[in-house]
Structure 1
Amino acid sequence: MIKDETKWYASWFDTKYYHILYKDRGYAEAEDFMRNLTSFLQLKKEASILDLACGKGRHSVYLHELGYNVTGVDLSKNSIDKAKQKEENGLQFKVHDMCLPLAEKFDAVFNLFTSFGYFENEEDNFKTIQAIKEELKPNGYGVIDFMNVNYVIKNLVSQNSKTIQGIDFHLKRYVEDGYIFKNIEFTDEGEEFKFQEKVKAITLSHFEEYFKNAGLKVKTLFGDYQLNDFNLENSSRLILIFEHA
């Protein structure tokens, strides 16, 4: 039987296979990014940070190790259940839809590793921006770490395969109707699975329009995790630092 999960962000993230496929994401790179980012923002120790769409909490845990009070939220109950095993004073996790603002306010809200643009409804992207604004203290900073769409599309690998923990993952990527798709097919224990990732190809100008309409302004842009300047053609990432207008 083929399990075709089209609303991927609500189901694919909850499978064990998502964590298997992406288990080699670089922790050292993520930690460098968090050190660079918190230093740039001059966040004081014990400042409050919301890690929005935190997954299993790798960024949250390290931010807490750096001395911050961290709340991690994610739509995936499976991911939050795993993250909760690491909870301690000053580090908490909860299941939450990032379209909706939390009642609490934070010194910084981080949305990391292309955890944006999943929604079927374009309005939900803007609702998320509005929610971040509501979650920020008056002098707080929002951070969205997104892919640089121009670079990604130019360098898109149409298909490849990876074997991880004995599972052959077959990946196909394409651009259609303003979205970047990744089809993921594999067989495990004789059962066939098919999932699809779908992320809106949001450009810098799109983000700037979101921010303008939400009453936010961009403070600065970075193009990678070393916080080098953003270049529209050559930067791998689009890291946006923004604040109340």
Structure 2
Amino acid sequence: MQKEKDNWYASWFNTPYYHLLYKDRGHREAALFMNTLTNYLNLQKNDSILDLACGRGRHSKYLYKQGFDVTGVDLSKESIAYAKQYEKPKLHFEVHDMCLPYPKKFDAVFNLFTSFGYFENEIDNLRTIKAIKAELKPNGFGVIDFLNVELAIKKLVSSEKKKVGDIVFHIEKYVEDGYILKDIRFNDNGKDYFYTERVKALTLEDFKLYFEEAKVELKQVFGNYQLEAFDKNTSGRLILIFN
């Protein structure tokens, strides 16, 4: 059994098991968040949105249906290949590394559902912030939807099992060297698999340092998908609005 650790997101996100494990993510909650967020940003029909690290395009497809011109990008070739079946004249998907500026400017750039802080190299977090800034039109807004690490660590469930179909996922969570890690073990058709998710435990203060270095202005901080005030002791999310 080989553990996937180097650039774990490139291998784990490309597997069908990743999508199987997380298939029950709340589509209704995601839709309500997109409605609330686009209203808050006063985005208008046909405005352009870049969905950064879009996966299979869950948010992109919904935003398109709401009348926006959407481009979804992700490092996972398999996820983008899947998403491309839904392409329309104003819904596009491409393989792209979010550390690099996409060659187009947008009214908004969304990085959703804790799709940040995965990188092996610390500098890539800053490079991504700078890339988002480069992708924004003069009056555009960047949005990063991250977990509130203080509460996440406090409520960490160290061990659990989750059965999906015929597969039992054995999940262990822990904090190590400034990262929140999730070990995922399972067996399918007699073969053992072992993946580790690894996300840097970035606080609001850490993001403020990135923003300062990237010459990005933090406009607002929210603590949940209803865009209520952020409280590091009680908020489930850390949602950052900037330009």
- Alignment of structure 1 residues 109-124 onto 2, 5 Å: 109-124=109-124
State the secondary structure of the residue aligned to 1:117: coil
State the secondary structure of the residue aligned to 1:60: helix
Which residue does 2:94 correspond to in 1? 94
| Cα separation, 1, equivalents of 2:17 and 2:2 | 12
Which residue does 1:5 correspond to in 2? 4
TM-score, reference length from structure 1:
0.98
Which residue does 1:18 correspond to in 2? 18
Percent identity, aligned pairs only, is 61
| Cα separation, 2, equivalents of 1:115 and 1:235 | 18
Two-structure CA RMSD over aligned residues (Å): 0.5
Which AA in structure 2 matches 1:203?
T
- Alignment of structure 1 residues 120-139 onto 2, 5 Å: 120-139=120-139
State the secondary structure of the residue aligned to 1:118: coil
| Displacement of 1:165 | 1.3
Which AA in structure 1 matches 2:4?
E
Which residue does 1:219 correspond to in 2? 219
State the secondary structure of the residue aligned to 1:101: coil
Which deviates further from its counterpart, 216-225 or 139-148? Answer: 216-225
State the secondary structure of the residue aligned to 2:13: helix
State the secondary structure of the residue aligned to 2:54: coil
Deviations 1:211-242 (A, max 9, x none): 11111111111111111111111000000000
Which residue does 2:192 correspond to in 1? 192
Gaps of 5+ in 1: none
Which residue does 1:80 correspond to in 2? 80
Which AA in structure 2 matches 1:156?
L
State the secondary structure of the residue aligned to 2:85: helix
| Cα separation, 1, equivalents of 2:166 and 2:241 | 40
What count of residue pairs does the alignment treat as equivalent? Answer: 242
Which deviates further from its counterpart, 217-226 or 109-118? Answer: 217-226
Runs of 4+, deviation exceeding 4 Å: none
State the secondary structure of the residue aligned to 1:216: coil
| Cα separation, 1, equivalents of 2:79 and 2:151 | 29
Which residue does 1:50 correspond to in 2? 50
Deviations 1:108-154 (A, max 9, x none): 00000000000010000000000000000010000000000101000
| Cα separation, 2, equivalents of 1:83 and 1:102 | 18
Gaps of 5+ in 2: none
Which AA in structure 1 matches 2:68?
Y
| Cα separation, 2, equivalents of 1:165 and 1:83 | 23
| Displacement of 1:166 | 1.0
| Displacement of 1:197 | 0.3
State the secondary structure of the residue aligned to 2:107: strand
Deviations 1:21-48 (A, max 9, x none): 0000000000000000000000011000
| Cα separation, 2, equivalents of 1:3 and 1:10 | 15
TM-score, reference length from structure 2:
0.99
| Displacement of 1:78 | 0.6
| Displacement of 1:3 | 3.2
Which residue does 1:155 correspond to in 2? 155
Which AA in structure 1 matches 2:84?
K
